[in-house]
A and B are shown apart, each in its own frame.
Chain A
Amino acid sequence: MADTALATRATGGPDSAVLRRGGSGLSWFGMPVLLAVILGATYLWVGSLELDTIERRTLNADQLTRSTLEHLHMTAVSTAIVIVLAIPLGVLLSRPFARPVVPAVLGVANIGQGVPSFGLITIVILWTSLGFWPMIIGLVACSMLPILRNTMVGLEQVDRTAVKASRGMGMSPLQVLLRVELPLAFPVMIAGIRTALIINVGTATLGTFFGQGGLGFIVYNGITLNRTPVLITGVVLVSALALLVDYLAGALGRLLAPRGL
């Protein structure tokens, strides 16, 4: 029922079945429902427990909200910076003139991906100082590669004949990039952005070790204080946040994807 409504809205007509962006109701609503069930169950379970003072110091609405917001803040800022840096860089690297420097740049980005995040952030912080921005620099370094590489791969897999025909019709290189290459590369690029988001949500849990809070604080408390309800609440919240962010990015990608692909 909701499925038909969506499909009709998305395509503007019932006859263009090929182009339905709707997909099934499950693919649109499955994830939010699942997350609601998991969060609800955790809430009920924790609520049914007799919490001691130590547990209550962490498991209260104020602390959970603050940690979640801190976590989201780190994720959002770092991902935004990565997008702003990696997409233009990927576009530049995909131009023919940049071919000689591609291996070097990819090598550097690989270091960001390859070195354990904890070590990488530690290095950045040793190098600068403790604080929000050094943490963000660390997150950016960790999540650069997926967007960079997917931008390059996405542009590379664009049908050469479409590009050639566009040039042959008199589009300037910039017009070809904006009107043909980027729209056609969009689905691959959005996949890279989703990967980067997940990396950032996950890595931001390390923020607690560098004084930046986040949901890592809850998890870490659960471990050090040996309080299973705290640990589980933290883990559930981080996982749910990662899945939710990924779901939202995916949904946005589906809605914004050029039609006809």
Chain B
Amino acid sequence: MTTTDTLTQPGPARSGAKPMIELLGLTKRFPGTAEAAVDGLTLTVDEGEITVLVGPSGCGKTTSMELINRLIEPTSGRILIDGKDMTHTNPDELRRHIGYVIQETGLLPHRTIAQNVGIVPKLLGWDKARIAARVDELLEMVGMDPATYRGRYPKELSGGQRQRVGVARALAADPPVMLMDEPFGAIDPITRERLQNEFLRLQQQVRKTIIFVTHDIDEALKMGDRIAVLRNQSHIAQYDTPENLLTSPADDYVSDFIGTGASLKRLNLSRVRDIEMATDAPTASVSAPVAEVRAALLASSWTSLLLLDAAGRPVRWVTSRDLGRAERGAALADVGLPVEAIVEPHATLADALDELIASNVGCTVVVDGSGAYQGIVDLETIMIVVRTVRDEYERFHLAQKLAQQPADGRAR
């Protein structure tokens, strides 16, 4: 995501994309309660986007989501999906066309994995062969070997595997819209991180329109194309891109909710491939003559040189002193320091920074999918990005202020 992108998309109303889910004044008042649980929620989600509803517990985010597939019938308001009014259609039929993933997965314990994934296709009356083929395809898609897992029962799977099956099941009938209620909430942090990444990669392929509920702002920032920060009764405090949320929270409630470390969190939003990495670092083949390697190091402004193997993969960092040892007879492959900090271009700057801090040389090597050397990210590169982003946002909002026409009446 580049800065210019976000600059042209400051507010919720964007042109070009087709609205897929439209909620118009959705309200739910439970009998016997004075306050509405959800009060006049109006929200538009564009096709192929992930919109995250985030807020503290009790703010009505789960209720809001269950109003969309009408597990809870709205008291008033309208639900439009792909332009069609779904407020009064048959709710069972409606739900068969909306993927649904919940926190505890809700897998049926007495059904096999294949049967669980095939539930909605079966409800839709697909024939057996088609269901079986689709089940295998989906298990493959979520990284589970169909032959191994097809016939197992949910309790034979780990929490992470169950959640993958939950996602596969929601995708089974290829619904255009998916609702996900804290899908990665009950999973250990490491597995959660992996599932989030896998899901984002999957979303690149399937491009579903998704409403995702979480109470975790970091998860919201990571998963969301747009984020609606909710306060009580599902009132929207701010509906914006993650970048705008971090750089210009609408009010104290939003900035309190984002919490401290907004600049650090912003590093989660930029990816290594979008920044200018240093490509002038001296490199040499690990099998080259030492004299040639020293010449390459001397010719550059760097103090270390990166040794690459035959396939172009980084092997070791060497300094002039290490080369001295090599000249005295040590093998090049044994001198210097091993390359530890390595990231791929789709990694976030936060990942790169993390690697960098943990590494022994103060910079992170970027490699492509096959592991071949691409460039270097160092602390300075990251600092420049942070500063540029901040400056550009400041300029953008200054210009808006001077133009005296706030995008949608919010203070920004």
Q: Name A residues whose Cβ lies closer than 8 Å to a Cβ of B.
A: 16, 18-19, 159, 161-162, 164-172, 175, 179-180, 183-184, 258-261
**Interface pairs (27), CB distance under 8 Å:** A18-B153, A18-B155, A18-B156, A161-B103, A161-B106, A164-B71, A164-B102, A164-B106, A165-B100, A166-B106, A166-B108, A168-B179, A169-B95, A169-B123, A170-B94, A170-B95, A170-B120, A170-B123, A183-B110, A259-B110, A259-B153, A260-B109, A260-B110, A260-B112, A261-B109, A261-B110, A261-B155
B249 at the interface (CB under 8 A from A): no
Q: Which secondary structure dominates where chain A touches chain B?
A: helix
Instruction: Name the 8 nearest CB pairs between A and B, nearest first.
Output: A165-B106, A260-B153, A170-B96, A258-B110, A170-B95, A168-B100, A161-B106, A161-B104
Q: How far is the CB of B49 from chain A (nearest CB, A)?
A: 21
- Contact partner of A180 (CB less than 8 A), chosen from B102, B108, B112, is B108
Interface size on B, residues (CB 8 A): 30
**Complex Cα gap A159–B111 (Å):** 14
B92 beta carbon closer than 8 Å to chain A = yes
**Which chain A residue lies CB-closest to B69?**
A168
Q: Does B105 contact A (CB under 8 A)?
A: yes
Query: Which partner residue on chain A sits nearest B170 by CB separation?
Result: A169
Contact B92 A172 (CB under 8 A): yes
B37 to chain A, nearest CB (A): 17
Which B49-73 residues sit within 8 Å CB-CB of chain A? 69, 71
B153 touches A168 (CB 8 A): no
Q: Please indicate the chain A residues that have their CB under 8 angstroms from the CB of B97 in the complex.
A: 170
- Chain B residues in 8 Å Cβ range of A18: 153, 155-156
A-B contact count (CB 8 A): 79
Q: Which residues of A contact B92 (CB under 8 A)?
A: 170-172
Q: Which residues of B contact A258 (CB under 8 A)?
A: 110
Question: Bound state CA distance, A161 and B62, in angstroms?
Answer: 14
Measured in the bound complex, the distance between the Cα atoms of B115 and A179 in whole Å is 12
Chain B residue numbers with a CB within 8 Å of A19 are: 153, 156
| Residue B93 at the chain A interface, CB threshold 8 Å | yes
Mark each residue of chain B from 101 to 138: 1 if its CB lies under 8 Å from any CB of chain A, else 0.
01111111111100000011001000000000000000
Chain A contacts for B71, CB-based, 8 A:
164, 167-168
Q: Which residues of A contact B111 (CB under 8 A)?
A: 260
Which residues of B are in contact with A by a Cβ distance under 8 Å?
Answer: 69, 71, 92-97, 100, 102-112, 119-120, 123, 152-156, 169, 179
**Cβ of A20 to closest chain B Cβ, rounded Å:** 12
B108 touches A162 (CB 8 A): yes
With most chain A CB atoms within 10 A of its CB, the pick from B100, B154, B155, B169 is B100
- Report the Cα distance A243→B119, complex, angstroms: 41
Given contacts A19-B156, A170-B97, 10 further A-B contacts (CB under 8 A): A161-B103, A164-B106, A165-B102, A165-B106, A170-B92, A171-B119, A171-B123, A183-B110, A260-B154, A260-B155
Residue of B nearest to A171 (CB): B123
Q: Which B-chain residue is minimally distant from A165 (CB atoms)?
A: B106
Given contacts A260-B154, A261-B110, contact A169 B104 (CB under 8 A): no
CA distance A167 to B112 in the complex (A): 19
Give CA–CA (A51, B342) in the complex, Å. 96
| Bound: A165/B152 CA distance, A | 19
CB atoms of A162 and B109 under 8 A apart: yes
Within the complex, the shortest CB–CB distance from B23 to chain A, in Å, comes to 18
What are the residues of chain B within 8 A of A172 when measuring CB–CB? 92
A165 B156 Cβ-Cβ under 8 A: no
**Contacts A171-B92, A172-B92, A260-B153 known; A165 to B123 CB distance under 8 Å?**
no
Contact between chains at B153 and A165 (CB < 8 Å): no
A100 to chain B, nearest CB (A): 14
**Which chain A positions have C-beta within 8 A of B155?**
18, 260-261
Q: Which A residues are CB-close (under 8 A) to B169? A: 169
Chain A residues near B105 (CB-CB < 8 A): 161, 165
Most chain B CB inside 10 Å of its own CB: which residue of A170, A175, A183, A184: A170
Distance in angstroms from A75 CB to nearest chain B CB is 30
Report A-chain residues with C-beta under 8 Å of the C-beta of B112: 260
CB contact between A170 and one of B93, B104, B110 (< 8 Å): that residue: B93
Instruction: Give the distance to chain A from B123, nearest Cβ to Cβ, in Å.
Output: 6
Residues in A whose Cβ lies below 8 Å from that of B100: 165, 168-169
Identify the closest chain A residue to B94 (Cβ). Answer: A170
Question: Shortest beta-carbon distance, B119 to chain A, in Å?
Answer: 6
Which of chain A's residues has its CB closest to B166's CB? A165
Query: Which residues from chain B contact A168 at a C-beta distance below 8 Å?
Result: 69, 71, 95, 100, 102, 106, 179
In the complex, which residues of chain A have a beta carbon less than 8 angstroms from the beta carbon of B154? 260
CB distance from A248 to the nearest CB of B (A): 23
Q: Which single residue of chain A is at the shortest CB-CB distance from B123?
A: A170
With CB as the reference atom, state the residue of chain A lying closest to B109.
A260
- B109 contacts which of A167, A171, A184 (Cβ < 8 Å)? A184
Question: Closest CB-CB distance, A180 to chain B, in whole Å?
Answer: 6
Please name all residues of chain B whose beta carbon is closer than 8 Å to the beta carbon of A179 when the two chains form the complex.
108
Residues from chain A with a CB closer than 8 A to the CB of B120 are 169-170
